[in-house]
Amino acid sequence: MKHFIFKLTISVFVWLFSVIIFAQQKPDYVIVIHGGAGVITKKNMTPEKEAAYRAKLNEALETGRKILEKGGTATETVIAVINIMEDSPLFNAGKGAVFTHDGKNELDASIMDGKTLNAGAVAGVTDVKNPITLAYAVMTKSKHVMLSGAGASQFAKEQGLEIVDPSYFYTENRWKSLQKVLQNEKNAEKEKHGTVGCAVLDKYGNLAAGTSTGGMTNKQYGRIGDSPVIGAGTYADNATCAVSCTGHGEFFIRYVVAYTVSALMKYKGLSLEEAGNEIINKTLKDVGGEGGLISVDKDGNIAMPFNTPGMFRGYLKSTGEKKVLIYKN
């Protein structure tokens, strides 16, 4: 009996020890993604549609895992993961982007490297297949941070990026959304979001974040949202965290949302989760700024706060944790 109690005590200690170790273990790498926040509820969803979203989010995460496992960098991973979502008509980025008031697709994207604080962004691109890849080219191959319109396309051509006919971005769903909005603004307000984003911690301890979007259905006058605005839609700093946002862009610009998460950690000493909650569930919620963000900090913690009914999101850690989520809870 004494022997048994001794063995039991030992095994309890071993178990407790392993739990503590596991909980504190900094993962080698982390990927966290979003595919847009908005009025996403079970009611608005069919089982087939839900399965398609889950499969694509999973594919994006697994694409990132392969790269990070082999020692790929955070920026490389952000681009590859976002490319998967840009190429899918499910999301409002690349193929599947929403239409402007004039019936066009104008794409925005940005990327930031937390190690160097280098950044690249493009706004109002109409013929570049993968805007996030162009944002990376702006970061690494130009002396500028932000390019726009025809100039950004010209730069893409000079860099040998894949150019497509603007009709490539057409999807029937998004076209119908525009028609609905044009006929009855209120009824279709729900369908205006769907931005994609990714934040990564790599094996070398470097952070990166990126965001890509078609903006708002029915946007006018060359409107630029938060996605290509460094500090608003995207931010990464190895000293704090990497963040990508999605939501009502005008609010995200005015409240400099992505950078605020970093500033709250750096200057106010908040944790990643506290910082994300403060800006999304307090500051923005109080003023009606709908949306959310995904984030990873330098220790591999993640936070995915949002103040809308749903947000397509998921994460994956080298430690084995993985989740793909859509609704609240």
Classify the C-alpha dihedral 310-76-257-124 as positive or negative.
negative
Q: Does 271 bind a second copy (CB under 8 A)?
A: no
- Sequence-distant (6+) residues with CB within 8 A of 16 are none
C-alpha torsion angle, residues 32, 38, 42, 45 (rounded to 10):
-90
153-212 positions binding a second copy, by CB under 8 A = 154-155
- Distance in Å, CB of 245 to a second copy, minimum: 13
Q: Does 146 bind a second copy (CB under 8 A)?
A: yes
Among 42, 49, 176, 268, binds a second copy (CB under 8 A): 268
- Distance in Å, CB of 155 to a second copy, minimum: 4
DSSP 287: H
Q: Select from 120, 77, 36 the least CA-distant residue to 290.
A: 36
Among 58, 148, 179, 319, binds a second copy (CB under 8 A): 148
Instruction: Mark whether 195 is an active-site residue.
Output: yes
Helical axes 131-141 vs 149-158, angle rounded to 10°: 80
Q: Does 89 bind a second copy (CB under 8 A)?
A: no
C-alpha to C-alpha distance for 242 and 145, rounded to whole angstroms = 18
Q: Does 242 bind a second copy (CB under 8 A)?
A: no
Q: Does 232 bind a second copy (CB under 8 A)?
A: yes
C-alpha to C-alpha distance for 131 and 91, rounded to whole angstroms = 14
- Distance in Å, CB of 270 to a second copy, minimum: 9
DSSP H helices, 70-130, are 74-86
Catalytic residue, chosen from 63, 75, 195, 217, is 195
> Which is closer to a second copy, CB of 81 or CB of 152?
152
- Distance in Å, CB of 230 to a second copy, minimum: 5
Q: Does 264 bind a second copy (CB under 8 A)?
A: yes
CB 63 within 8 A of CB 84: yes
Query: What is the gyration radius of the CA atoms in the chain, in angstroms?
Result: 20
What SS3 class is residue 260? Answer: helix
Residues touching a second copy: how many (CB under 8 A)? 44
Q: Does 225 bind a second copy (CB under 8 A)?
A: yes
CB 111 within 8 A of CB 136: yes
Q: Does 222 bind a second copy (CB under 8 A)?
A: yes
Please give the residue ranges that form the binding site for a second copy (CB under 8 A). 112, 117-119, 123-124, 142-152, 154-155, 219-225, 229-232, 235, 249-250, 253-256, 259-260, 263-264, 267-268, 287
Which amino acids are annotated catalytic? 195
